[in-house]
Amino acid sequence: MPTANASVAVSAPGKVLLAGGYLVLDRSYTGLVLGLSARINVVAGEILTEEGVQLNEIVVDSPQFQEAQWRYGYHLAPERGGIKVTQLQVGPTISANPFVETTLSYALTYIDAVVSSKKTHGAIKSSRIIILADNDYYSHSHASSSGRFAKFPVTLKGANKTGLGSSAALVTSLTASLLTHYLPATIFDLSSKQGKQTLHNLAQAAHCAAQGKVGSGFDVAAAVYGSCTYRRFSPSILNALPEPGAPGFSDKLLAVVDGEQWDVEVEDDGVTLPPGLVLRMCDVDCGSQTVGMVKKVLSWRSQDEQHSTALWNDLQSKNEDLAATLKAGALDQLPGKLSQVRELIRQMGRESDVPIEPDTQTELLDAVSALEGVYGGVVPGAGGYDALALLMRDDDQTLARVQDFLATWSRDKDAKVKLLGVKGEMEGVRQESLDVYDGWL
């Protein structure tokens, strides 16, 4: 090696944490997470150069956005420090992309370490990465869309996210595309159980580092495995990892990713939506700052541990009831189960002084849940103003009713709310045909 494979394309789904917001940060509790049909797609291929020209560069393009190219140099750090990635300046300004940069450091270090351990020689060749996001990841009132991938008249930073888990889907699909591109199938096979486990562990390590060692990892698990019940891994598993480039990073990363110490529990069997039921997302066109909300809730929890634990235990029980109701296909019981979950979430919001289900979201959810064919919904995950998750009958009449209602609501309330095209989907990461991306490569 790495004799790089030909161009490869990989996609990973977004997520919706239907039940288990905040609780999923604690190993005592679980989360019910559904994958989504909206995917982050990554194509990895070689950079073709003239004979004799040697490049050590990774070029990353996100062609749906303005000024969205990032170039990175890379080199082998001393003292087993792994592959150190450095952003190169392009044009007058430099805009950082921490999720991409961190993922490149982790994935390339792992690839180099695996290859070294197999006594295969050769340098990692330059590559070009293309990232394409399905339209529903962003609110796009001004986007030009004539197909699956819209063109946005803004930079990536200037785009409004809908809260579907783009960073985890990006880190997962980028990691998977690099592993598939650089490693032979005998070492890494994305479709195998072992391949998914390797990907999960490596993507969790990279994503956790990129977002400052916070988060439970349920979004990465959903990106890899699709819909699942998730119990988080012990944070201590990743605590021993030094920074990329620091002495010993390469060996420690290899030991963590391929080690036996992972205590994560991902149950992806039996998590499904019964026939005739669909999960849809309702965009309210203003995302939330999840990290700040999480810190405030955890601070409240530590101040009154006895009371907050009792509330969390109650919420866990109601979440499990909801999951069991879905599994049993008992649709007539869904409205009551969703209502019980929401009541406890609002109580947690009041007591922690965090807008987990803000009043405007409560008003909208109550109104849309009263429509014929709608069983109810939640403000998923950490809550706030991210897209709502609705459980509704999977038929054209219900869809038309909800769309008409939201159009009237937007007009009367001077708000921007609309149903996204995305639906709940069970499947996780997968390799794609390059034909899907014609015109973008």
The pair of structure tokens assigned to 336 is 């009551």
- pLDDT under 70 in the chain at which residues? 1-5, 49-55, 90-93, 119-123, 140-146, 270, 285-291
Note the pTM of the prediction, 2 decimals. 0.92
Q: Are residues 31 and 121 in the same domain?
A: yes
Question: CATH number for the domain including 302?
Answer: 3.30.70.890
Q: Are residues 142 and 235 in the same domain?
A: yes
Q: Residue 87 falls within a domain, yes or no? A: yes
Question: CATH number for the domain including 78?
Answer: 3.30.230.10
Q: Are residues 212 and 282 in the same domain?
A: no
3-state secondary structure of 246: coil
Q: Residue 1 falls within a domain, yes or no? A: no
Domain of 353?
277-425
- 196 and 224 Cβ atoms separated by less than 8 Å: yes
Residues 6+ apart with CB under 8 A from 207: 99, 103, 167, 168, 171, 172, 215, 217, 219, 220
Closest C-alpha to 17, from 407, 378, 419, 398 = 378
The pair of structure tokens assigned to 184 is 């032979």
Q: Are residues 40 and 167 in the same domain?
A: yes
Q: Are residues 296 and 265 in the same domain?
A: no
The pLDDT of residue 1 is 42
| Helix spans in 240-370 (H) | 249-258, 290-303, 305-328, 334-352, 359-369
The pLDDT of residue 92 is 63
The domain total for the chain is 2
Q: Are residues 186 and 306 in the same domain?
A: no
Neighbours of 303 (CB within 10 A): 11
pLDDT in tens, 240-293: 899 999 999 999 999 999 998 999 999 987 678 999 999 999 988 655 566 688
Q: Residue 282 falls within a domain, yes or no? A: yes
Q: Residue 114 falls within a domain, yes or no? A: yes
Q: Are residues 231 and 321 in the same domain?
A: no
- 304 and 414 Cβ atoms separated by less than 8 Å: no
Q: Are residues 232 and 366 in the same domain?
A: no
β-pair partners for 231 = 265
Closest C-alpha to 189, from 427, 429, 13 = 429
Q: Are residues 224 and 261 in the same domain?
A: yes
The pLDDT of residue 120 is 56
The pLDDT of residue 53 is 54
Q: Are residues 211 and 338 in the same domain?
A: no
- Single-letter code of the amino acid located at 441: L
- 164 and 222 Cβ atoms separated by less than 8 Å: no
Q: Residue 3 falls within a domain, yes or no? A: no
The pLDDT of residue 414 is 87
The pLDDT of residue 54 is 58
Distances (CA, A) of 374 to 234, 289, 332, 346: 38, 28, 11, 21
Q: Are residues 260 and 289 in the same domain?
A: no
The pair of structure tokens assigned to 321 is 């009831």
Q: Are residues 290 and 167 in the same domain?
A: no
